[in-house]
Structure formats: C-alpha cells, structure tokens
Amino acid sequence: MEGYLLLAQELDVAMSSYSESGWDVDILYTAPPVQKTQGKLRVVRCKKVSAGKIMLTVAREQDVNIKPPQR
C-alpha cells in the first residue's frame, strides 16, 4: 500500500487499511507548541521503517469553532 494514498485521512481509516494489508503500524503524535487542537487525528506523514512496518505521524486537525489563544 502506498503511504501517500492515506495522507490527510483520519487515523482510524489509515490504521484499518494498513492492518488489513498486513502492516505493523507505529504511531507518532505531533502538535503545535502553544495551541491545543481538539479536532480529529489525521495522517500527516507515512514512513516505512522496516520490512512490514510503517510509522504514521498524526496531528489533530484544527477545529474551526475554537478560537486561537490571544497573544
């Protein structure tokens, strides 16, 4: 399975796709340093780390209903 096909997909969709294809999946979470996001987890990077193993980097999408912090 090509990782770029799952970029921006929700984590659940990506996990089920890779699991069905026989991949062992690791997840790395990332977030902005200041703003806490509360949206859905989305895949922002796919990296093959070894044969049969892939690492997905995921981040929460920005919820448009949440106002950013004032500086």
pTM for the model stands at: 0.78
> Domain residues for 13?
3-60
Note whether residue 69 is domain-resident. Answer: no
Number of domains in the chain: 1
Note whether residue 66 is domain-resident. Answer: no
Note whether residue 65 is domain-resident. Answer: no
**Rounded Cα–Cα distance for residues 69 and 36 (Å):** 9
Note whether residue 27 is domain-resident. Answer: yes
**Rounded Cα–Cα distance for residues 56 and 48 (Å):** 9
Q: What pLDDT, in 10s, does the model give residues 7-66?
A: 989 999 999 999 899 999 999 999 888 777 788 999 999 999 999 999 999 999 876 666
Looking from the CA of 56 toward its CB, the CA atoms found within 13 Å total: 28
Note whether residue 19 is domain-resident. Answer: yes
Note whether residue 38 is domain-resident. Answer: yes
**Rounded Cα–Cα distance for residues 47 and 26 (Å):** 10
